[in-house]
Structure 1
Amino acid sequence: MTARRERVGRFEGRRVLVTGASSGIGAATALAFAREGAIVGLAARRADRLAAVLEQCRAYTPDSVALTVDLARLDDIDAFAVRAVEELGGTVDVLVNNAGIPKRRKAASLTPDDLHEVMAVNFEAPVRLTAALLPAMLERGDGHIVNLSSMGVHMFSYGVGAYAASKAAVELWTEALHLELGGTGVAAHLFVPGTTLTEFSTEREGNDPPFPVDPATAATPEQVAAALLDCLGTEVFITYATERDAATAKAKNTDPNAFLAQLRRR
């Protein structure tokens, strides 16, 4: 049995559901919540990888649970939400919609199946899961929904147009939630990680080769997770994982024509 470790307690006793929790940003986020006292539900497809992350989380909060699920199966999401609430003791206080798939495929090569897959997992799944859990949050007058986007929306989407489009859809939908939930006690947050050292950018079947990642400028999953937890203590709509990402987004938003024209000349 793993020895109980000291925890900070900022989210003591809160029930947190993190999707895509078997690796990368999701795993680091789940562990960060557990370290601060949250009882975490770790959701992902890979049971073996979930078990390893769960063991780490239970060192801080023994009631944390692993929930194997394939969020691409959209019609199963309502039943999954019911199971998650039951496993977490009757409530989900914080939902982190982190699960997603890459789709590195240039526009001329994109197939209908590519488009359907990336939109289903990256956009429709978080919408459906949120819809299943939101009514109980509204009834309690308390809760947080954190939706993860991508710098592909705020920098450039060369070679990843469908992926970036799926995340842009998440952003506008989260904006609507953020406004609609004003005064309810429930908050919707948009969180934008930049380039992060995870397996997300490795070779994957059905994708073009990954873009090179410079470890000197990429963030670690732990750094991204820390920024994500911090956004729950603010009332801002959008949070970037690093100041560098925020500066890049600002540069593009200031003059997108000039920003993209410079890239085309390279």
Structure 2
Amino acid sequence: MAGRFEGKRVLVTGASSGIGAATAVAFAREGATVGLAARRADRLAEVLAECREHAPDSAGLPVALPVDLADLDGIEAFAADAARQLGGVDVLVNNAGIPKRRRAAKLTPEDLREVMAVNFEAPVRLTAALLPGMLERGHGHVVNLSSMGVHMFSMGAGAYAASKAAVELWTEALYLELAGSGVSAHLLVPGTTATEFSRERDNNDPPFPVDPATAATPEQVASALLDCLGTDVFVTYATERDAATARAKNADPNGFLGDFLTKMGRR
């Protein structure tokens, strides 16, 4: 039986681990030819091998595309090479990103430049490079990943949340501008997910609060991502719990944040 994405060419950034890796494998299982982009070539090779195990015989072989998207000036050349190796890109998943746990009083200009470059400018430039091909063919999808830091609270991670808020508003503009073109823009909000992204890491301040009992799995997020491509909705939350939290904050942001401060003993 043909998969849902039989014959589609999919480029997934940040594909060496976590949500990106699970998404790449999920697309391979559904018949897509997948391009896996990330910095860590060794980890990328492991995910590539798993994609090849699951790819149907009818699908093209997945390809590894090592890249550091922090090198903004190299993105256009990378996009051209990815399109050449895949034979075009039908689905772009802008998943690559970096965390930045740093309180406002300690945030440096370098911190801000890095997080905005990787989390916002890189997906914008990669999309801009691949979008003309999608529009010329009259079909395609751009999926941008955000964060519950935009829809919950971002204490201790304001710059990171701001970079994702920028992604959200830019994706909203894409969603409206592309209407009727055959190309769709989608926003996916994963929520807290059990990946290395949320663990202790260099150049980030504690705490690193992830409860495995309540966190989503990368596979759950990947499933929600693939499902959203069959809809015309703008934003998809990976879990109903996250959707409910976002609704509660949107309904009464003052009360929502006030309750949080009260629980923290700060009000």
TM over 0.5: yes
What TM-score, normalized to structure 2?
0.96
Distance in 1 separating the partners of 2:262 and 2:86: 52
1:114 maps to a residue whose letter is D
- 1:27-85 per-position Cα deviation (integer Å, ceiling 9, x unaligned): 00000000000000000000000000000111233510000000000000000000100
Aligned position for 2:20: 26
Q: Secondary structure at the match of 1:95?
A: strand
Distance in 1 separating the partners of 2:195 and 2:207: 12
Matched, 1:135 2:132: yes
CA contact (8 A) 1:28 1:221 kept: yes
Aligned position for 1:3: none
Distance in 2 separating the partners of 1:140 and 1:258: 47
**1:209 pairs with one of 206, 218, 222:** 206
Give, in angstroms, the shift of residue 210 of structure 1. Answer: 3.8
What TM-score, normalized to structure 1?
0.96
- 1:177-214 per-position Cα deviation (integer Å, ceiling 9, x unaligned): 00000100000000000110000011111100242211
Aligned position for 2:30: 36
Aligned position for 2:47: 53
Q: Which range moves more in the overlay, 209-218 or 44-53?
A: 209-218
Give, in angstroms, the shift of residue 229 of structure 1. Answer: 0.3
Gaps of 5+ in 2: none
Distance in 2 separating the partners of 1:150 and 1:214: 17
**2:93 pairs with one of 93, 96, 99:** 96
CA contact (8 A) 2:200 2:208 kept: no
Aligned position for 2:66: 68
Distance in 1 separating the partners of 2:218 and 2:54: 19
CA contact (8 A) 1:8 1:35 kept: no
Calculate percent identity across the aligned residue pairs: 79
Alignment map for 1:103-142 (pairs within 5 Å): 103-142=100-139
- TM superposition outliers: structure 1 runs of 4+ over 4 Å: none
Matched, 1:259 2:256: yes
Distance in 1 separating the partners of 2:2 and 2:22: 16
Give, in angstroms, the shift of residue 8 of structure 1. Answer: 5.5
Matched, 1:17 2:15: no
Gaps of 5+ in 1: 1-6
CA contact (8 A) 1:178 1:189 kept: yes
Q: Secondary structure at the match of 1:265?
A: helix
Aligned position for 1:4: none
Alignment map for 1:118-197 (pairs within 5 Å): 118-197=115-194
CA contact (8 A) 1:201 1:210 kept: no
CA contact (8 A) 1:192 1:240 kept: yes
Distance in 2 separating the partners of 1:219 and 1:11: 24
**2:75 pairs with one of 56, 69, 77:** 77
Q: Secondary structure at the match of 2:186?
A: strand
Distance in 2 separating the partners of 1:204 and 1:215: 18
